[in-house]
Structures are given as structure tokens and as C-alpha cells.
Amino acid sequence: MSLQEGMTGLFPAEAEIPVNYRLSEPVEMNRFLLNGELRRWEGPMQEVFSPVCVRNGADLSRKMIGRFPVMTEGDALAALAAAVEAYDSGRGNWPTMPVAARIECIQEFAWRMKEKRGEVVRLLMWEIGKSLKDSEKEFDRTVDYIIDTIDALKELDRVSSRFVVQQGIIGQIRRSPLGVTLCMGPYNYPLNETFTTLIPALIMGNTVLLKPPRHGILLFSPLLEAFHESFPPGGQHTLRRRQDHYSAADVVGQGGCACLYRFQQGCRCPAEGTSQNAPAALGTGVGGEEPCHHPSRCGPGDVGGGMPGGQSLL
């Protein structure tokens, strides 16, 4: 047996894939969130190919598993501006919402997310090549993390309701949102690592810019409906841009959540003289992807193509 024949035998034929885990048709991610509405995208689309090959006789081919919209710079700027507007210097609907009401929204999202378990697990397997066991584990851990975060906030809110006496001064310590926050996740855990930055920032009342990894976009498609139905209108946007020589920009926003599917790389930071990723005053980086450390010194001309005016995140 030749090496080529041996390699070909490692991959299944279409008929050998269990019916429950087949993709009957490519995922058409042709909807986006804008101002509380799920709108249909009629523009160009970017194809996504699975790293898992399918055997067809003696040949191997990568399966085309879906497509996502390729939006424009203007769409990106409109979505980002809406995220800033949704925060409104801490006066927006989401940051001023009572803790109990924000918890209800997150709980609603968690329940709706559970209903999409099969779809998300299947896309995790096809899109980044995870095993069934690992895909199911990642999904379940993510849901458990959301519930644990809710419980932690409930406890924090109870503690914050008490008065503290220090040096004869009576006070009450309350937590408040910080602003527009950038969250990013790696491709090897595109769901779990992304949500472990998104959920805490969101539940505390921040508006959120979410950057899913380059590989792991389609698995967010089943969750768009859950975002739309679980959170109040205000800053609901989806934006995607294919990868040219910059990473594609992909924004999903919901009730103060604007999520960057692929936030561009290319902040030419004049303060450091190096290329940074997306500029933001607040940010959590994963997989070596760090936000700009000098956002106040980055102007529109310093942001490399596709997303000028990134300082509007501040």
C-alpha cells in the first residue's frame, strides 16, 4: 500500500459518516442583526471549507460546509458606532438595567442556547475538526460556565447590598460597567474561550466587541436567533468581511453586545511602532492576540484598512 493510499483510507466516504453528524447542506449564514432586527444579507458571501476531508473513490476533497456574508467598511463602522451608542457613557438601556433584569436575559439566552446543542456540536466537528466527545464537552462546559457566572453575580449583588464601615464612615460598594469591551477567543476552543470573556463582560452591563477566531465562525450561526430573542433591542448588529490581507471583520451585536467575528488586525500603533490588533481601551486577549495598549494615541489614519476610526471603541 502506498503512502497516498494509506492517507486516503484515513478519511471516511460520505456514506460512512453517521447520519446524525452529516451536513445535509451547507450552512447559509445569510442573516445579520441590526437595530434589534434579524435582516437578510443579499450581498457577496465567503465560502468555508472543512479541514475534514471526504473520500470519493481514490480522491480526497475538503467539504464546503457553509458561507458567511462579506460586508463593507461602512457596515462595520455603523455597527461599531451603534455599540458605542448603546453604552452611551453608561446611560444606555443595557448598562443601566437592574442586575436582576440582566440576569434574566442571560438565563434566557442559556436556555435557548441549550436548544441548539446538536447544531453547534456538529459545526464544531466539521469546522475545526474536533471529535464528537470534545465538541460535546466544550458546549456543556460553556453552558455550565454561564450558569456559574450568573450564580457568582447573584452572590456579588447580595454582598454589595450591605453597608461597610471603615474608620467611622458608612458606605456601600457597588459594581458598575466599564464601557465597550473587546473579547477574543482562540480557534481551538472557539465557543468556550470566547464565551468565558463575553458572558462576564456582558452580564455586568458592558457593551461587548466579540472577536471569534478565524476558524470557528459558522458555529455562531445557530446562536444568532438566541441572541436576538434573549436581549432587548439596542446595538444589535452583525457584520462580516472576508479575509484579504487583514483579518475579516465580523460583528454581532445584541442588546449592548456587538460581537466582532473577525476583528481586523492592523492597528499601526504610533506609540510602539509595531502592528497591534484591534484598538480598544478595555480588552481581554486570547492566543497572543492583544488589544492596542495606547488607544488614545491611535488616530483614524493609524488603523490599517477596513476599520478606520477604531478609536470610536473607547
Nearest 10 degrees: CA dihedral of 78, 214, 23, 116? -60
pTM (global) more than 0.75:
no
Burial track 196-217 (b if 16+ CB lie within 10 A, e otherwise): bbbbbbbbbbbbbbbbbbbbbb
Residue 258: pLDDT above 80? no
Coil, strand, or helix at residue 261? coil
The least confident of 149-158, 171-180, 259-268 is 259-268
Residue 210: pLDDT above 80? no
Residue 281: pLDDT above 80? no
The tally of CA atoms less than 13 A away on the side-chain side of residue 300 is 4
Predicted confidence (pLDDT) per residue in 48-69, tens digit: 999 888 887 777 888 899 998 8
Residue 263: pLDDT above 80? no
297/90 Cα distance (integer angstroms): 23
Predicted confidence (pLDDT) per residue in 155-170, tens digit: 988 888 888 888 888 8
224/247 Cα distance (integer angstroms): 21
Q: Do 70 and 44 form a contact (C-beta atoms < 8 A)?
A: yes
Polymer length in residues for the chain: 314
201/183 Cα distance (integer angstroms): 8
